Amino acid sequence: MAEFTLELNDDQKQVRDWLHGFAADVIRPAASEWDEREETPWPIIQEAAKVGIYSLDFYAQQFFDPTGLGIPMAMEELFWGDAGIALSIVGTGLAAVGVLANGTEEQIGTWIPQMYGDADDVKVAAFCSSEPDAGSDVASMRTRAVYDQVKDEWVLNGTKTWATNGGIANVHVVVAVVDPELGSKGHASFIVPPDTPGLSQGQKFKKHGIRASHTAEVVLEDVRVPGHCLLGGKEKLDQRLARARERAASGGERVKNAAMATFEASRPAVGAMAVGTARAAYEVALDYARTRTQFGRPIIDNQGVAFQLADMRTRIDAARLLVWRASWMATTGKPFESAEGSMSKLYASETAKKVTAQAIQILGGNGFTREYPVERMHRDAAIYTIFEGTSEIQRLVIARTLSGMPIR
């Protein structure tokens, strides 16, 4: 009988401790500064590249961890350091996942290295899906991609929003409509190479949290990309669209679109990010409760505080287990028959919001000031229930999966 264990192996522990050290020694000391500056922390990204954290090789090693725990373990430790800086370090990964999920081997080998650059000249990439009128409602996407058969080029027009690294990226991965009649099933993903004419940065957003991560609109005006920049290739796209038309005509099952394939693959990783932020806030609150005295004793002696900490730790551990389960399932090829990926993202993101709020409450007035990090952690935690599928969307996905009904 195979041995069952939830314990990390020696190699995983070594990587975890290495990442934790980088988060503690490099990310955390810089967190407050870059949050206030609201700028991409290029020196920290470069430092991550120098030690091998910001690199294709590192993420490939974690991605191919046979247990599936490499990526969530890395995300938790980096986001324990600081969510804004960590997202600047790992934000390129969403574009990379988009290529991995939809691209050919040649496209993967060509474009993913260009997303990272090297330690002397770091680059970033952007995944562009959301639009001003089409966030969760992907069927309302308006960005169009029209094929110019004579030149074997695709012409992209539209505006993307909420794009991490949008406009400053070396490589943009853009989801666009190729067949409007098919709704969300008529989408495809495209690589926009560096310095392609017609792509520009629109509004840069000033955000409530994760301020060190660059978020902006991406404007596409007659952007022409070569035919080989269609992820998966035109033959595969034509076949997929033909199947979608047949299913639409017969009322058959739905076909997943390019954006959803990317988000499904990344949801447990987002859950791990949320776990890291929640754990960081919990640890600050625990240390504070042990050292802060009121009425002659540490406040952790008070049942009201101790019970909050007990609930916080329980939720964090439960969230981590859901993330690990989904990550293991994805790696071992087990289908999310009960929407386990969405479950992990939903519970972990809600846990991060609740735990960081509880941390502020335990610190009292101090928690409400920028002298303590839980205020920033609480602002950062708000994004987890919004990006890559809101909590409401996750509940909808879970409910539809469990019921088999088109719940609206």
Provide the annotated active-site residues. 388
Handedness of CA 369, 370, 372, 377 (dihedral sign): positive
In SS3 terms, the chain reads as CCCCCCCCCHHHHHHHHHHHHHHHHHHHHHHHHHHHHCCCCHHHHHHHHHHCCCCHHHHHHHHCCCCCCHHHHHHHHHHHHCHHHHHHHHCHHHHHHHHHHHCCHHHHHHHHHHHHEECCEECCEEEECCECCECCCHHHCCCEEEEECCCCEEEEEEEEEEEECCCCCCEEEEEEECCHHHHHHHEEEEEECCCCCCEEEEEECCCCCCCCCCEEEEEEEEEEEEHHHECCCHHHHHHHHHHHHHHHHHCCCCCCCHHHHHHHHHHHHHHHHHHHHHHHHHHHHHHHHHHCEECCEEHHHCHHHHHHHHHHHHHHHHHHHHHHHHHHHHHCCCCCCCCHHHHHHHHHHHHHHHHHHHHHHHHHHHHHCCCCCHHHHHHHHHHHHCCCCCHHHHHHHHHHHHHCCCCC
Angle of helix 258-291 relative to helix 70-81, nearest 10 degrees, comes to: 50
Question: Cα–Cα distance between 296 and 95 in angstroms, integer?
Answer: 54
* Residue (of 74, 35, 33, 28) closest to 52 by Cα position: 74
In SS3 terms, 234-251 reads as HHHHHHHHHHHHHHHHHC
Question: Cα–Cα distance between 84 and 35 in angstroms, integer?
Answer: 7
Q: How many C-beta atoms surround the C-beta of residue 332 within 10 A?
A: 10
